[in-house]
Structures are given as C-alpha cells and as structure tokens.
Amino acid sequence: MATVQKRIVLVMLAVLAMLAAVVVRVAWLQAARSDELAARLRGQVMDNKAINMPRGPIYDRNGREMAMSITVKSLYADPMLIRKEGKVDPAAVARAISPLLGLSEDEIVRKLTSDSGFVWLKRLLDKPASDEIGRLIRENGWNGVAFVEESKRIYPNDELAAQVIGFVGTDDNGLAGIELEFDSKLRGGRYDQWVETDMSGTPIFDSIIQYTSKRQGKALYLTVDQVVQAIVEQALDRGVQATKADGAVAIVLDPRTGEVLAMASRPTFNPNRYEQASPVSWRNRAISMVYEPGSTFKPVVAAAAMQLGLVHPDDPLYDGGSVSVGERVIKNWDGGGLGAVTFTDIVKYSVNTGFVQVGLRMTADQELDFVEKFGFGQPTRISLPGEESGILFSRADITRSDQASMSIGQGVAVTPIQLIRAIAAIANGGLLLEPHIVREIRDAEGGVEFDASTTPVRQVIQPEVAAELAKMMQQVISDGSGKRAAVKGYNLAGKTGTAERLREGGGGYSGYIASFVGFGPVEEPQFVVLVVIDNPKGLIYGGEIAAPVFREIVSQLLSYRNVPRTVDSVVEQAARTAAPPSGSDGKSSPPPPAGNGATGRPVMPDLRGLNVRQVCTMLSDRGIGVRINGSGLAVGQSVPPGRPLDENEVVTVDFAWPVSPLAGPGRQER
C-alpha cells in the first residue's frame, strides 16, 4: 500500500514539474520572444500592404497651396480568390474597365489570372473612373476586385512654378524640384495594412484589421508669391512667343532678404502629367543654365574698379570703336565709337572698349577676387537640386586677352541665379546675401521646425560705391541702351546684355542670349528682376527683346505691391526733354486693349471657376490689377462681371476649394 501511495506522489510531482516547466516556458516566450512570435504568426496567417501617408503640402509665402495631397482610390484584385470562387470572368472585367484604366484588356487579364493573392490594377485613379468602376463592381458582384484609399499629389495651378516645385512618382517619392530636395521632410510615414489569410495563404477579402506607424509629412512654405509667379510666367510666355526663342528664364529676388519671389523657366510642363512632357522641360534653367552673361556682367566689373578707386563716374575715357589686346581686337556692338566720354557714358551705352580699358586697370587677380566675392564660380546653395557652379578663368592660366574678355562678360559662364544675386548686392548697398526659396517648415501639428532668415555672406563693395553705381545704371534705362525697360513714374536701374550662346555640350557657339537685369525703385530697392531669352529668332539684343519683358513684369509688380510712384522720376524728366510734340509723329491713338468697352476702360470678366494662374493672366491681358484672397478656384470677385473699371482700380478675387484637401492651415505674409 505504501508503495502505491509513493508511486502516486511521484507521478503527481512529475506532472506538477511538467506543468511548472510549461508555465515557465510560456512566461519566457511571452516576455522574451513575444514580438518575434507575433511576427511569425502574422507571416503565417496574415499578409500586409505598405501604404504611404499623405505628403506634406507646399504653400507659397501667403499660405496658398502649390502642392497638396488628396485622398483617391487605387484599384486592386485578389486573383487567387477570383480563381477559387470561379464566379468572376477576368475577360469580362477587362472589357469593362480597360477604357477607364487606360490599360489593354490583355494586360488586365494577365493580372487577374496571376498566381498572386494581391495585384494592383491601377493606382491613384481619377474620381470619375473610380466612381464608374465602383458602380460596375456593385452591379456585377465582382468579388475579388476592390479599392484601397491612397493619397495622390496634385498641383492645383498646373504649370505654375513647375520646375521649382517638381513632381513625385507613383510611390510618392520626390523626383524633381522642391519635392526631391525636401523629400525626407515632405514624405509621410508608411503604414502597414494587415489582411487575414487562410491556411493556404489566400487573403480573407476586405479583412483589414490593423494600421501602424502613421505620420503625415511636414508642410513647406516657400518664399515664392503665387501672384508674382503668375505675372512673371505670363510675361515670359509672351516674350518667348514673340521671339520664337528656344527657352527663357526669369527670376524676381528681394535684394533686402535674398528671398526668391518668383522663378520661371521655359519650356515648361504640367507636373500633374509630368510623364507626358519631355525631360528637357523638367529642367530648372534658373539654376542649371550655364551661359556667357555678356554686358549684364559689366556692373560687376564696374563695381570692382570703383571699389579699388581705379575709376570714378565722371572720369574721362576715349571710345575709338575698337581696342586691341594682344592678338585680339574687341569692338563695340555696332562697330562705331563715341569719342571722348565719361565712365558714366560707358556704363549707360554699354561700351565694350571702355569696359576693356577699365577692366585692364586691375590685375587679373584683383578682378577675379571681386568676381568670386560676388559669388561667381560656386553654387549659391539655394535649396534646389541640380544647381551648376559656372565657369571662371584659371588664375594660373589667365592671359591679358582673357581678362579683357572677362571685362565685357565673355569667356566666363554663369547661372541666372548667380547673376541676379550679384546685381542684388549692388541694390542692397554692396552686401551679398544667400538666396533662399524655402521660408518655413512646419510639422503636422503646426510647430515651426525651420524658419529661414536673411543670411549675409560678405560686404563686397562699400555702400557709397553701390549707390554711385546704381545711379549710373539708372541712366541705362532713362537715357541709354535700356530705354525699353522704363516704367513711367519710377526710377529703375538696369543693364542690357547680348552674348553669343554656348553650344549645348560644348564645342563653340550657336545663336545668342539676350538678357536684361534691373532693380527698383532706385531710392529704396524692393526687387531685382532678371530676364534671359535663349536663342531668339530675328532681333537678338537684350535692350530690344528682354527689356520689354522686364518692363511688363516690373510694372505689374509695382502695382501689385502698391509701391508709390517716384515724383518727377528721371525717366519722365528725360521724356519731357526728348519727346516730340503730341501728334507730331502723325500716328493715331492706339485702340483700347481687348476686353475694353466703348469708354476705353477695361470691362470686368466673369472669373468664377478659374484658378489663380488663369485669373492673373486674364486680368493682366486687360490691364486690370488684382489682389488674391485664399486659394483654389475663384468663387467671388469685388467687381461684378460686365462693369467697366475705373483707372488704376484693383480687383479682389476670392478663392476656395470645393473639397477639403489633405493640407494644414495656411500662413499669412509676415
């Protein structure tokens, strides 16, 4: 009996020991390997799809959307479920949805009959297509074909600032412009959708049960003003059309802060359909175009010589029409000479021989020192991908003939952003600033992560030298080679430029580059504007074809910013002195612009439903000033359609979105 009891006790102890071992093992697995085992379980009974959270929005300086993400539907299928149930005919599905997806029937059938448990049929569908396919799924009972919601990047103003903003690919990765440069900031987090599967790995359809790692991208605020950008682009388009040029660039920069207010490049594209455009149009020429600047480089040479005390505005010089340097003979553009002139005249009329004489008063090292101090030969570090450095002469190899060429803007190559920054330094009292195009970065909660500030680089020339040079450049517009850039009522400074065009890929020259750069008002400069026309046909001179584009941009910019007119401007003084009596040219008054009524005053059009770019273009064509309120599509206007406007009357247009995009709050100009 005792033996039996002893055996029972031993068995019980053994059972208890086994149970204790199981409990310890389970506790250890729960504590030490729970994550690993959970992952193994999910891998056996679940499948997952990685989905992107929405990218952060891109705004202009006033909080108007330039890029944003909206929720759209992507179509997918479960071929294994379709095959298992046998109720859905892949060929019939393909016939019905092929026109809606833009895919061939064969391609759709191939996807629907694959060996996968999940295939994308088409991602990021337009709403009409997804609505129609949804109706077909419901009516035909296509079990195994369904949607998942994803974010889609849209650009509400189409081509506006296309090269600046860039675009993203299907997987929400930035591929160009700001979208590429700040991809890590803009990109939203990825989250996993877990889908239950049966023991054979077939998904249990519509069984999404878990989301993890959600995070929306940060918001970027640019320094660009959407209205100024529209003004610049429409003026540039007209300039390209009139000259039949291969391309063009225009930039507007605030010389006091280094902020880029507008940056346009032609040819252009629509980032909503970037894949339909040539990659040539994706290129931002404002930072990547390397060209000989010609006479727009001369203010840099003048600034250097004046800072060194080698020349003053009233110093006498002699222009004989040509000058020999080594084996090279440099002539003026027209082959003629002005005789005895002052240095101010040399600047005013862009005299090559005079600039060669002044340039050669410096040593090559002195001139190159100032060229480099003005920022040439190195990137500006603006926050955009693809910026070029330009080309300068080597100090070790530069000859006197090379130095003479450099003094008239030949033999060196610059980018548009480098040139406008250098001229901005003259407008800013000789202080060179870093240009920037991103003003602020905010997180998804609205907290400010980055706030740009004005970044001085160096004092290149003294303020009094900059002021003297500005007055000389003012005469370029009032009475010199840049008269076609003049805007009545304002004192502006500028410089024309015409240079031979570097052949693409090197190997000499082909065609011409016509350009104009200027700033104003001279009394207190608020903007610098550069216009570059690439390979125009017919007229080639910057004063003839780039200056009028500058004038159109500046006249609208002054109106938009309500800049007070300069009393008794230099331009008006010169006009009163030189202008012939009224009617002496025998020409009749021009007809009123298109859209004007019998009174000659512009008539207000109906703007409802148009975007910002379309509104600015339509009103600009009619000579109507505009103020923009909000973003999206036009929903209201301060002047009703059909009413004639008073002189200088400015119209306020209200914009709003018909649906709420996935975007954060707007930011107002500070």
pLDDT tens, residue by residue, 522-541: 999 999 999 999 999 988 99
Q: Which amino acid is at 403?
A: Q
Q: Is the pLDDT of residue 67 over 50?
A: yes
Q: Is the pLDDT of residue 547 over 90?
A: yes
Residue 660: the pLDDT is 38
Q: Is the pLDDT of residue 108 over 80?
A: yes
More confident residue, 6 or 431: 431
In percent, the amount of the chain with pLDDT more than 70 equals 82
The pLDDT of 580-607, averaged and rounded, is 51
Range 598-670 classified under CATH 3.30.9.10 = no
Range 48-158+186-219 classified under CATH 3.90.1310.10 = yes
Least confident segment among 254-263, 485-494, 658-667: 658-667
Residue 195: the pLDDT is 54
Contact in structure between 144 and 78 (CB atoms under 8 Å) = yes
The pLDDT of 412-437, averaged and rounded, is 97
- The owner of tokens 């291969």 is 246
Q: Is the pLDDT of residue 37 over 60?
A: no
Structure tokens at 459: 């004092």
Residue 533: the pLDDT is 97
| pTM for this entry | 0.77
Range 226-577 classified under CATH 3.10.20.30 = no
Q: CA of 113: how far to CAs of 80, 81, 89, 107, 339, in Å?
A: 8, 10, 10, 10, 86
Structure tokens at 644: 């004639």
**Residues facing 2 on adjacent strands:** none
The pLDDT of 146-173, averaged and rounded, is 90
SS3 629: strand
SS3 285: helix
Q: Is the pLDDT of residue 176 over 50?
A: yes
The pLDDT of 566-571, averaged and rounded, is 59
Q: How do the domains of the chain map onto residue ranges?
A: 48-158+186-219, 226-577, 598-670
In percent, the amount of the chain with pLDDT more than 90 equals 56
Burial environment of residue 31 by CB neighbours within 10 A (0 to 12, 13 to 18, 19 or more): exposed
Residue 280: the pLDDT is 95
The pLDDT of 622-633, averaged and rounded, is 76
- The owner of tokens 């024309």 is 496
Question: Beta strand 650-656 with 625-630: parallel, antiparallel or unpaired?
Answer: parallel
Q: Is the pLDDT of residue 30 over 90?
A: no
Residue 415: the pLDDT is 97
Q: Which amino acid is at 72?
A: V
**Residues facing 342 on adjacent strands:** 316
E strand or H helix at 282: helix 279-282
Residue 556: the pLDDT is 93
Least confident segment among 67-81, 235-249, 574-588, 638-652: 574-588
**Concatenated DSSP letters of 214-240:** --PPPEEEES--HHHHHHHHHHHHHHH
Question: Beta strand 203-212 with 650-656: parallel, antiparallel or unpaired?
Answer: unpaired
Q: Is the pLDDT of residue 15 over 80?
A: no
Residue 578: the pLDDT is 47
Residue 490: the pLDDT is 94
The pLDDT of 207-228, averaged and rounded, is 73
Residue 394 has a CB neighbour count (10 Å cut-off) of: 9
pLDDT band at 167 (very low <50, low <70, confident <90, very high): very high
pLDDT band at 22 (very low <50, low <70, confident <90, very high): confident
Residue 423: the pLDDT is 98
pLDDT band at 667 (very low <50, low <70, confident <90, very high): very low
Q: What is the CA radius of gyration of the chain?
A: 33
